[in-house]
Structure 1
Amino acid sequence: MLTRLFNPGWPGNLLALLAGTLTTLGLAPFDLWPLPLLSAALLYLGLRNLSRKQAAGRGWCYGFGLFASGVSWVYVSIHDFGAASPALAGLLTLGFVAGLALFFALLGWLWSGWLRRTNAPLADALAFAALWLALDALRGWILTGFPWLYAGYSQLDGPLAGLAPLGGVWLLSFTIVLSAALLSNLPALFKHKQQALLAVVLVGSLWLLGMTLGQHDWTQAKGQALSVTAVQGNIEQSMKWDPQKLERQLILYRDLTLESPRSDLVVWPETAIPVFQEQVTGYLAMLDDTSNQRDSALIAGIPVRRPNAAGENRYYNGLTVLGQGGDTYFKQRLVPFGEYVPLQDMLRGLIAFFDLPMSDFARGEPDQPPLQAKGYRIAPYICYEVVYPDFAAALAAQSDILLTVSNDAWFGRSIGPLQHLQMAQMRALEAGRWMIRATNNGITVLIDPYGRIQAQAPQFEQAVLRGEVTPMQGLTPFLQWRSWPLGLACLLILAWATFARRKKGQP
């Protein structure tokens, strides 16, 4: 009966769709960490006896289940804030989900056509995990990337968390998928004792390392703890870009800051000042003087307008430091359709969603240095940037403290902001550094070097979060090497699996 579910046909495709939703349940806010393991195992078994075309279809069904359950919150942005009708917003969301599912269709097609070897259970499982990881990386890169819903995030509070400083979320995902495939291959492994022994040693070592390194200190304190104030204005998205409400917003953030006890670092969210820097020079000068008088550094999100080499004005999503520090950082990883519009000559004006406020930002220059505040280096990530593991690691390696600012009001009361927070926690764990997360309407938190939340402001409320963070020094293995060792290993596994299959013929 169970075997029949994995054969060609709609029952197997329906099972694949349901299997995709299990990974979403393994991530925030559900955090049922064993489920991504079961999810990957069901897909692996479901692809075993299919042709290339059938495997592509089943992979697509899995991907559709994953993304329909995990990122359907984009509907909130399109409908609630993009002024699209429910039907149009639903259609655009459906297209987005269906497009993302093509990555798993590609996995099924490649797996069945070039890599699958049922007579070599250990090699087969390794190749499956390597291909999965390669396509995760591709999804995080193509068209600026959408690195969301990686299975490894389920292990933030799971037994594999200790692997994150070694190989990042990538190593966690690889271990989950490899373990799932090997568990699925247990009957075949029993017939190959040598392969079974190697599988036990390999997977056992990864799980043992994950559990034993969970509290290992990869980094050390660099100085005394710094007091932090993170201001959460809870400005409604409908008000944020209204010129008539600008003065009220500026006064709100000023007063919430000045009415709070003095802190070493004060952080305002992404675009907390929703007007170009040059238009509020007097306001910024006042904040700069006040911060200096309080021996404090204020880090605030603000758009910046500057001419490029051709003399054309370009707009940047920025973070600037006032008072005891300096520099302005320009966001490098922009959100498609939110901060820039692909094919904008065709799409702008089509519906209001493509003309959202501040949807024509330019990318900041690569290799920008960390911000300087209170004598320490702070790695800045504006909103979407914190979800890119290697990008975040490159900045973190140069820094003592991590900082991410966001405006998650775009996603309403959906699960999107909770997933976003989980990824920020993983970045802190990978880097072995404290992270400050300041958002407009939550979730504003302070995260320790183990990825644990140490202080949190309530969501959807105006709040001021106070606490302490400690500057850290030293590099975790992931900050030193990032994904290169695991990426190279996966490429070698895939090349070897392709060669072996061609040499021996399809089993």
Structure 2
Amino acid sequence: MRTIGHWLTSPWRRSGAAALAGALPVLAFPAPSLWWFAYVALVPWILLARSAPTARRAAYDGWSGGFGFLVAVHHWLLPSLHVFIFLIAVLLGALWAPWGMLIRRFLGGDPSPGRGAAALLVLPSAWLAVELVRSWQGLGGPWGMLGSSQWQVGPALRLASVGGVWLLSFLVVAVNVALAVLVSVRESRVPAVASLVATAAATSAAWAWAPHPDVDGRVRIAVVQPGVVDGQDSGDKRFDREEQLTRRLAGQDVDLVVWGESSVGFDLGDRPDLARRIAALSRDTGADVLVNVDARRSDRPGIYKSSVLVGPDGPDGQRYDKMRLVPFGEYIPARSLLGWATSVGKAAGEDRRRGSEQVVMNVGHGLRIGPLVCFETAFPDMSRHLTEDGADLLLGQTSTSSFQHSWAPEQHASLAALRAAETGRPMVHATLTGVSAVYGPGGQRLGPWLGTDASTARVYDVPLAHGVTPYVRYGDWPVHGALLVLAALCGAEGVRALRLRRNGPEPLVPRARTVHESPARPGR
């Protein structure tokens, strides 16, 4: 331990160690999917920040760990963003600097049991505040929220129906903090054990109390995944492949056919021939076809990504234009300043236009669907609002074809499980090149994933449920609670600073010796 401590005296070595510690949680996400590792992955990072000699050094430990976390979770963006991924990670990693300082403030040195107990509430709250800020669409959105690593754990999905992915993140961090206290702070082990017991009890209570989605119907949804299409005229070839696969669905009693993001590369107003071909597919299959158009609009300026519903008579006027765009991927923030990014990566050559509102579409047989496009499926508020507006089924249309041989397709497909569990609505995640997936109203996976090597059409029997989950009813209440905890902390620190300023430091006046005392002799 002494050797490790000496090695960490170098600021650069310590920052590197913090970055590596911050990167560890990536193993809990797909593709590794070691979900259990999330509950211990933060412990090395916490112990490192706890041992910081100064508050400034603890802030650097938090910053460096945040940098490592962001690079690890988004490493698949490296071929597209190149150096920008490191710049973005440096800037956003600073959000964890206060978290590092709070670790040292509550766990550093020999903390009292009271400080150790407070850490079990303050540190998870601070982590949630970081996730809240970086979840803003302009900063890249809520990709890699720690709670989303629990997408395949039944009890965790039940908790998501109560407090969303936010509650999962809070509990995962709380367990990590409790374990770090058990390992390093002897005086606070009793509160740490109590926290672990309380977490287990809360999980069990949520399992028993949270309402189960009551299945009250079923629909048959077909997902069409054309797979990778290369070469010239790839847009036409992809459409031909989608058409071929969709024709195979005739006679299978399908209620809706879903194509992936950018499945149609031309505006249907400019290409009525394509609209007629899709309408013919709707007649052949007896189902509406939800396509996604990535093209310049014929009725207004600019390029949009739009979910368009096509029936047997052609497009029926129901359309959703993507609202939340991917920074650099679909638009460049401050293009006049950062437009040079197009010369070093695969940044958007022209900014896409944004839609203005979410849309719930009416499909045949009384089915109401709520479409989302690409990384909009990462935003829990969007699926919650669609559910409030009456959606029976959530639909995510995405591509991820640029990241075919990375962890991105699996990570993206897993997010739909959280959105389904949060809302109590089934969700279909349809892609061009994989991974496509379908989840029931409790977040359970329905059938196998369509991997990145699949080119096929598959029909899923999807159960419907129409109850209201606590998360849909009460919203992001774990975030509000975390902000209240941090506000109370700031208020307490402000009162403490005011008292110190008002009272002033105690005067350093030598105490007079009594007649019975004598000066200390040399050597004593």
TM (norm. structure 1) is 0.85
Alignment of 1:83-162 (within 5 A): 89=82, 91-109=83-101, 118-119=111-112, 120-141=115-136, 143-158=138-153, 159-162=155-158
1:407-434 CA distances to partner (integer Å, 9 max, x unpaired)? Answer: 1111120011111111122111212221
Work out which of the residue numbers 25, 29, 32 in structure 1 matches 2:31. Answer: 29
Indicate how the Cα distance of structure 1 residues 192 and 233 shifts in structure 2: closer, same or farther if over 3 A, else same. Answer: closer
Where does residue 159 of structure 2 map in the other structure?
163
| Counterpart Cα distance in 1 of 2:471 and 2:108 | 30
**1 CA distance for matches of 2:88 and 2:79?**
13
What is the DSSP-based 3-state SS (H/G/I as helix, E as strand, rest coil) of the residue aligned with 2:75? coil
Per-residue Cα deviation, 1:447-502 (whole angstroms, up to 9, x for no partner): 1223232223232331112221123211111111221x212211221122223344
- Between the aligned partners of 2:234 and 2:167, the Cα distance in structure 1 is 46
The one-character-per-residue Cα deviations of 1:296-327 (angstroms, maximum 9, x if unpaired) are 1100011354589xxx6132110011117761
Larger radius of gyration: 2
- Asked whether the equivalents of residues 117 and 188 of structure 2 are also in contact (C-alpha less than 8 Å), the reply is no
Of the three residues 214, 219, 244, the one matched with 1:255 is 244
- Which residue is equivalent to 2:279? 288
Alignment of 1:75 with 2:75, yes or no, is no
Correspondent of 1:411 among 403, 407, 413: 403
Task: Pick the aligned partner of 1:377 from 368, 372, 376.
Answer: 368
Do 1:231 and 1:464's aligned partners in 2 also have CA atoms closer than 8 Å? yes
Give the whole-Å Cα distance in 1 for the aligned partners of 2:107 and 2:256.
52
Contact 1:370 1:378 in 2 (8 A): yes
Q: Which residue of 2 aligns with 1:297?
A: 288
**What residue is the counterpart of 2:465 in the other structure?**
472
Shift of 1:357: 6.4
Q: Judging changes above 3 Å, is the alpha-carbon distance between structure 1 residues 197 and 355 closer, same or farther for their aligned structure 2 residues?
A: closer
Q: Shift in Å at residue 211 of structure 1?
A: 5.5
Q: Within 5 Å, which residues of 2 pair with 1:296-335? A: 296-303=287-294, 305-306=296-297, 313-323=301-311, 327-335=318-326
> 2:471 matched to 1:481?
no
Runs of 4+ aligned residues of structure 1 deviating over 6 Å after TM superposition are: 113-117, 187-190
State the aligned residue count: 484
**Structure 2: how far apart are the matches of 1:193 and 1:447?**
40
Q: Measure the CA separation in 2 of the matches of 1:45 and 1:331.
A: 43
Could you report, residue by residue, the CA deviation over 1:52-107 in whole angstroms, capped at 9, with x for unpaired residues? 321121112212222232211112334xxxxxxxxxx3x23332333332222343
Q: For residue 274 of structure 2, give the secondary structure of its aligned residue in structure 1.
A: helix
Residues 306-361 of structure 1 deviation map (CA, whole Å, 9 limit, x = unaligned): 589xxx61321100111177611111110011111112234446634677567421
Matching residue's letter, 2:57: Q
Q: Matched residues in 1 for 2:385 and 2:107: separation?
A: 33
Checking the alignment, whether the CA contact within 8 Å between 1:5 and 1:15 is kept in structure 2 is no
CA distance in 2, matches of 1:68, 1:196: 31
Deviation per CA, 1:256-291, whole angstroms, max 9, x where unpaired?
111333421111111101112322223213422541
Residue type of the partner of 1:497?
A: L
CA distance in 1, matches of 2:434, 2:151: 20
Structure 2 residue 446 is matched with structure 1 residue 454: yes
2:520 matched residue in structure 1: none
State the SS of the aligned residue for 2:162.
helix
Query: Which residue does 2:215 correspond to in 1?
Result: 221
1:246 touches 1:274 (CA, 8 Å); kept in 2?
Answer: yes
CA displacement at 1:365 relative to structure 2? 0.6
Q: Superposition pairs for residues 60-71 of structure 1, below 5 Å?
A: 60-71=63-74
Alpha-carbon contact 2:46-2:103 (below 8 Å) kept: no
Residue matched to 2:507: none
**Equivalents in 2 of 1:28, 1:350: separation in Å?**
29
Sort the Cα spacing of 1:349 and 1:93 in 2 relative to 1 into closer, same or farther, 3 A.
closer
Distance 1:112 1:136 in 2: 20
Is the CA contact (8 Å cut-off) linking 2:263 and 2:291 kept in structure 1?
Answer: yes
Q: Percent identity?
A: 26
Q: Is the 8 A contact 2:60 2:97 kept in 1?
A: yes
